[in-house]
Structure 1
């Protein structure tokens, strides 16, 4: 978005500061001023305002985010009907498989982890609720893309591109769209080494009345996912999970 298209530049600048503090953990007034190319006195005013609203804290001359964004994010998550109906099913999946199970949703053209559970033999991937990843780089994202309108898929590609995360990431529009067609036909998505080398994902869309709510995925080491018999087990289990979540969603309040 260009500066001319921003209705309230002050609000935009405040969120730029919040995002920098999120990315860097902490920063001084001078460091923020240098990164944003604005006077320190202006940055100071922003920080004082954010501190008064309890979004940032100051320790030994450095500013960092407070826990207030966590409070807001946690509330958003627990208000989600999809989270409430999916949590128990994910727990059952990890009990049975020992792997990681998660729910991804689409937000502003990206995949966002709504919730995840870890089993006894699960990979430790540094995942967290709210983590954002490109939709085209893993099976859960592709399961979502496969059930979005074609115009929306094109819009996401135009806006975000097809960034390469590993040498296995799909970066061709034609190849991606062929994969999405296959996912619609088969009812699940599978890939490995496309977002993180050594990580494989089996995922299925969560559909209610043909509307895509998100995708449920099982994450495991690539070598386990590439084993045909094990992959078939995960395919069956992830489709069962998506069906259960979909039904529970429709009858929940």
Structure 2
């Protein structure tokens, strides 16, 4: 074994402390919603103002931070350029596909990914379990906004005006009232249900529309707080508990949260009227 190979683990452990401090400064500024003073940064990072100031001088000089109104510090143009370059390489849908591949393997349940096509969820990925469930849903199919978990998740996150438009059209002459946990939902009850779905980022059915089949879904959010896609899992009622807090509901929520984190997503929109 060569000397270079023998030294590699030690080199990896050592790292560069000053670089790590610089990155901690950038992370702290990125997480703040307002400019931070040298004093507040010093307290947060537990660094003396004199030592911290040297880092700030270098970061300002290279454009990674800037001073706003000569006082507080914010991220600079170089940080923005770096962030935009990283974001341009993110593929939210491919990230969702990769995540449900693992979810399918770890759960051995049928899983899917849907996107909103403007008026309903569209299935863009479908993976069967080793023992497929007997449902008439496959890749490329459009699902009901009212009788599917993904449809309700998308409805729950739509801007209020657009959501009400869809609800008004449906409830004017519904083929059948939506159900949840065995109960029929009129318009007011359905809106209340949607609010709970949004708050929990979870929707589940216990055989309300598919006899002996349970379904649970959770949303992946993008950087603007909008839904990128919805991940769903389904299985037989006898061995697939999808109630909130159950193993499978937690697996689906964790999967969606993982992808949201990978694509730098957030659960709330930046603007209330965003679509």
TM-score of Structure 1 vs Structure 2, range by shorter chain: 0.5 to 0.7
- Distance in 2 separating the partners of 1:206 and 1:245: 7
Counterpart selection for 2:200 from 162, 186, 190: 186
Tell me if structure 2 keeps the 8 A contact 1:90–1:116.
no
The CA deviation at 1:141 is 1.6
Cα–Cα, structure 1 residues 169 and 151, in superposed 2: closer, same or farther, change >3 Å? farther
**Contact 1:137-1:170 within 8 A present in 2 as well:** no
Pairing of 1:1-253 with structure 2 (within 5 A)? 81-161=91-171, 162-164=174-176, 170=184, 172-208=186-222, 209-226=224-241, 232-250=246-264
Structure number having the greater helix percentage: 1
Specify the SS of the correspondent of 1:125: coil
Q: Deviations over 1:199-232 (max 9, x none)?
A: 2111111112321222111111233344769x61
Shift of 1:121: 3.3
> RMSD of the TM alignment (CA)?
2.8
The gaps in structure 2 that reach 5 residues or longer are 1-89, 266-275
* 1:247 CA drift (Å): 2.8
Q: Is the 8 A contact 2:242 2:248 kept in 1?
A: no
Gaps (5+ residues) in structure 1?
Answer: 1-79
Whichever of the two has the greater Rg, that structure is 2
Report if the CA contact (8 A) 2:243-2:249 is conserved: no
TM (norm. structure 1) is: 0.59
For the 8 Å contact 2:221–2:227, the answer to whether it is kept is: yes
Instruction: Mark the CA change 1:116 to 1:174 in structure 2 (over 3 Å): closer, same or farther.
Output: same
Residue-pair matches, total? 171
Secondary structure of the structure 2 residue equivalent to 1:135: coil
CA shift for structure 1 position 169: 8.0
